[in-house]
Chain A
Amino acid sequence: MSKVAKTTYYVPIGPIHPALKEPIRVEAEVEGEKIVKVDVKRGFAHRGIEYMGMKRNAIQTLYLSERICGICSISHPYAFVIGSEKALGIEAPPRAQYIRPIIAELERIHSHILWIGVIAHEIGFDSLLFWTWKGREKVLDVLELITGNRINYAMYMIGGVRRDLKESHIKALRDMITYYWEFTEHMKEVFLSDPVYKARTRGVAQVPKDMALKLNLVGPTARAAGLRMDIRQDIPFDAYADMDVKAVVPQDIVGEVRGDAYDATMVRIYEIEQSLDIIEYCIDNLPEGRILAIPNYIALLNKIKKTAGEAIGAHEAPRGEVVHYLKYDGTRDGPSVWKVIAPSYNNINSWGYCLLGAEVADIPVVVAYIDPCMCCNDRVAVVKDSTGKILDYSILHRKAVEKTRALEKELEVRK
């Protein structure tokens, strides 16, 4: 009996996999080293946040939106407040309109540096990962100084911001700006001029401009393909409207576009510099005055309850545009419809395209180059035990309490 050798192999990755930081499943069929068929399954971190938001009041939903994603914990509230202000006819005071972009740009700096570290890790360059992440600590410290937290800053409110900038904060921001101008120069050297980095990223995850349009890509992924799109430029808001932000595209930096992972790195490094300029502009031109349009939250909720309106709020998050559609029906103090589109929702569209014909070793780079964020993309998790029985809330809560008690005992915590 003759046996025909198998020509293709099935490589499943995820949803739980040591190489993935967040749950997603990529199923690839490979012929030798080449990927011939690919399928992406998402939704493993879906928690029904939009459904929850439609049952809560607007201030609760604002904080909920912050928890869509740990990295974009400013971008979602930003789109939410812009959308709400447009729908409700509230205008934030000038000072708040200048403070908001500062925080948003700080987030962009830390998110981009995080991505650059991750991509270094994915190509097997771990010392570089630690070096870039060491540089990221500075911006996290500044964020902690201003807002009190490294993530989930609770800074924004419908009609302004909750915390003011003090002189000491501005001094820390200026120090940080000097630090990062040096740091980005170093990054350009170690990433963009490095032959090994170039060899691993040039031509990988390449998306031409017309394909980027068809796949509805957004953010640095689309800009790396040469599309000049940026919410801060196209439909600006707050202080961005005063300063003419220009989208960072590779053709303006080196004169040509290839739309690969290397271009994506370049776009992100130059965007850090752009963020530094924006922060500097905002602190140089920071208007005086109050920071909240309606400081009393009860009054704010009452206004929301009485106002009917709908609007689109959009913000350029580090990974691309975040769009929130909000509808207030004038009977409830929260949104009756809330739809969130996060950047990875659109950017994951590119995986199938990029992986086809690529090599197995390129999978991590393709997967990482859009800076995927599953918690953003997915938004009912059902937890099952090993027998397939669904664990409900009460069991999970009881188990959590049991564990805390056991830990307290073990660590001899005194009450």
Chain B
Amino acid sequence: MTLTAEGIFDRLKEELGDAILNYEFREYKMGVKRPRTYKEVWMEIDKNAFKKAVKTIFEIDYPHLHFITGEDIGEVIQMIYSFGLFHEHPWGEVSIVIKFDLPKNELVLPTITDLMLGAETNEREIREMLGIEFDGLKNKRHLFLPDDWPEGKYPWRRDEYGVDDMIKHTHKSVKNIREERGEQSG
């Protein structure tokens, strides 16, 4: 049996209660000759309820993990997890997006690899790109970054731990660089 976006949200509300700080159903119309709609659930939760929220999703049905990402927004890192439920049903897949703020002095999250083996890839990427530790993650080797990558540097961070000082010319054209050096262009 499949559930609608509202049905899934009701189950989550039942389990999480006040830990859901904010939520929204987003509806998208697709198609030209026979337009139909599908819905996505977007919610902000308390960071302490994160693992419980994920467990609830896994109890509803085995989901598919779309992505894990995060944004450095100053004092905190906003984490975004996106799961797809009922992905074997035409027009039936409901994307559930969970967002929560993680303070920079406490960048630790419980792993979800105990529920989904394949999430190891995602967690290892987030660990090296944003510097978030995953409690219970077994394999903590670099995924994309080289083994000799300097410690305490995280490419997606916008603070002193970021990589802006490591990048010299990425956003300049050859012309710009030559002009700066006082070389003749052309």
Contact = CB atoms under 8 A, between A and B. Distances in A.
Q: Range of interface residues on chain B? A: 35 or more
A234 B26 CA distance: 16
Nearest to B69: A339
Contacts of A244: 90
Interface stretch (A113-121, A174-182, A342-350, A406-414): A342-350
B38 to A, nearest CB: 6
A49 to B, nearest CB: 11
B31 A241 contact: yes
A378 B144 contact: yes
Determine chain B's interface SS by DSSP, over half rule.
loop
B69 to A, nearest CB: 4
A325 B67 contact: yes
A242 B29 CA distance: 12
A341 B125 CA distance: 11
A258 interface: no
Contacts of B26: 311
Nearest to A245: B90
Contact of A216 (B38, B40, B65): B65
A327 interface: yes
A239 B32 contact: yes
A341 B155 contact: no
Given A42-B144, A348-B121, A393-B169, A242 B71 contact: no
B47 to A, nearest CB: 19
A397 interface: yes
Interface string A243-264: 0101100000000000000000
Given A94-B32, A241-B34, A341 B145 contact: no
B5 to A, nearest CB: 12
Interface in A104-154: none
B143 to A, nearest CB: 6
Contact of A235 (B93, B144, B169, B174): B93
B11 interface: no
Contacts of A11: none
B64 A229 contact: yes
Interface stretch (B12-20, B101-109, B112-120): B112-120
B168 to A, nearest CB: 7
Nearest to A233: B90
B143 A48 contact: no
A237 interface: yes
Nearest to A92: B32
A216 B67 CA distance: 11
Interface string B36-74: 101010000000000000000000001011110101000
Interface in B112-144: 116-121, 141-144
Nearest to A239: B32
A341 B64 contact: no
B182 interface: no
Contacts of A393: 168-169, 177
Nearest to B72: A337
Given A325-B69, A325-B82, A346 B121 contact: yes
Contacts of B62: 213
A380 B170 CA distance: 11
Interface in A367-393: 378-380, 382, 392-393
A3 interface: no
B143 A98 contact: no
Interface of B: 26, 28, 30-36, 38, 40, 62, 64-67, 69, 71, 80, 82, 84, 87-93, 95, 97, 116-121, 141-146, 155-156, 163, 166, 168-171, 174, 177
21 contacts: A42-B144, A46-B145, A51-B155, A52-B170, A52-B171, A55-B171, A213-B64, A216-B117, A234-B91, A234-B92, A235-B38, A241-B35, A312-B66, A323-B82, A327-B71, A337-B71, A339-B67, A348-B121, A380-B146, A382-B146, A393-B168
Interface of A: 41-43, 46, 48, 50-52, 55-56, 86, 94, 97-98, 213-218, 227-229, 233-239, 241-242, 244, 246-247, 285, 287, 311-312, 314, 323, 325, 327, 336-337, 339, 341, 345-346, 348-349, 378-380, 382, 392-394, 397
Given A86-B28, A241-B35, 12 more contacts: A51-B163, A227-B88, A234-B89, A237-B30, A244-B90, A312-B82, A323-B67, A325-B80, A341-B67, A348-B121, A380-B163, A393-B169
The 3 closest A-B pairs by CB, nearest first: A216-B118, A241-B31, A234-B93
